[in-house]
Amino acid sequence: MNRNIYVRFSLLIFLISASVIISSCGSAIDQPTDVELLSSIEKAFVNVAKRSKPAIVSVVSVRQAENGKIHRQEGSGFIFRKDGYILTNEHVVRNATTIKVQLFDESEFDAELDGRIDRNTDIAVLKIDTEEDLPVLPLANSDEVQVGQFAIAIGNPFQLDYTVTVGTVSGKGRSFLPDIGLVRYQDFIQTDAWINTGNSGGPLLNIHGEVIGVNSLIRRPDNTPATDAVRAGAGFAISSNLVGKIGTQLIANGRIIRGFLGIGMREVPEGIRVRSVLKNMPAHLGGLQRGDVIVKYNGKQVKNTDEFKMWIADSPVGKSTKITVLRNGHERMFNVTIAEMPALQAGRPVESNSLAWRKLGLTVRKLEKGDAERYTYLTETDRGVIVDRVEENSPIPRGTLIVAVNGQKINSVEELEALIQKQQQELQQLILDVKSSHGAEKITMHLKP
């Protein structure tokens, strides 16, 4: 004990001596005063706020609740592209009937959403039409963000527009939201910069005025409602690299197409333990079983669930992947064909009143830009509708492209519905020309009464 005290005292004397020596090496004129140092830091924060505010917006969305009441949601956002694309949180604009965006100069615009949302990451892209180019905020490389560096949050908490708060990055790579139905992709930056109701969707900046994250949520142990006027707890921002990737895809393709395996999982020292396997989903069809421990994915060592989920999500739909598992102490490898994530797990509404669902046991969506990039069996010249959901034991798999029905080409959901409506009284079955990972084929579907 006495030796520890002696060591600490000696270290303290050394640090004081070193400080005195360093101070004496320069003249008093060369050394900035405490006030000058503080003034320089203060000026840096002021400049970041001045430069950034013109690219930050207020977002107000309005939706009608089931009881008929009007619900108003306020949040923040920032201009991502000079032609009027704005990034915000999905939960700020969820189920909105109208969305208003106000710029720094107090000009107001009606914003278009057009389905550019991703509930899995809580990102949404809005579009406003302006005649002039708008100021933008650049995205930083969030991989280079360091714990302990300054973090500056700007947003509109409690209708207090353009509130600026300063703190530090207190953690990286946080993920704590459970996958309850919805599959979540998480890479949060933790900060102690004060953020609150209304900050959602606003930027978290570094001292260069670059976006390191999008403020998304606050976590506190006592679960105080978000409407309370006083909040204390860690703030979390979606990392800029994830935001940039999702935002760019939403603008280019209108939505995110993700690969899907169909398992419940838990991280274990050896890899990822399969806790459950969804019937007729890729893992089940490929031979994976509950209790398997996934150790490799296409030859890459599996280390954690967040990284593993990203690998699956980025895998092309229809691609055969090699998954190595430990089963009863022995390694086994399976070829599993990746499917598109179902609407339910992707947070998209599920259509259950369509004629296609009632008569054929499937729902479809239009063929969209970007599908040919993610589906290995599609080309840019393909036309038709994509099967988005099927009943159990359906002869037609999810992700199938329906090209024609009874020889008549189908180019839209409306055309398929109209054809079923027209022929349901005359025919008991339909012959579908389809294209999937099994190739081009004809499938006979019996119409339900």
Active site residues: 91, 122, 200
| Beta-bridge mates of residue 81 | 85
Please state, in angstroms and rounded to a whole number, the distance separating the CA atoms of residues 182 and 116: 17
User: Do 237 and 197 touch, CB atoms closer than 8 A?
Assistant: no
User: Do 302 and 308 touch, CB atoms closer than 8 A?
Assistant: yes
**Pairing label, strands 56-64, 188-191:** unpaired
User: Do 170 and 191 touch, CB atoms closer than 8 A?
Assistant: yes
Q: Is 156 helix (H, G, I), strand (E, B) or coil?
A: coil
Chain-centroid distance of CA 364 in Å reads 24
- Residue reference for tokens 């006979």: 444
Please state, in angstroms and rounded to a whole number, the distance separating the CA atoms of residues 403 and 391: 20
| Beta-bridge mates of residue 239 | 213
- Six-digit token string for 1: 């004990």
Please state, in angstroms and rounded to a whole number, the distance separating the CA atoms of residues 120 and 116: 12
Please state, in angstroms and rounded to a whole number, the distance separating the CA atoms of residues 250 and 257: 10
Q: Is 190 helix (H, G, I), strand (E, B) or coil?
A: strand
**Beta-carbon neighbour count of residue 33 at 10 Å?**
9
- CA angle 342-310-76, nearest 5°? 85
Nearest CA among 371, 367, 384 for reference residue 419: 384
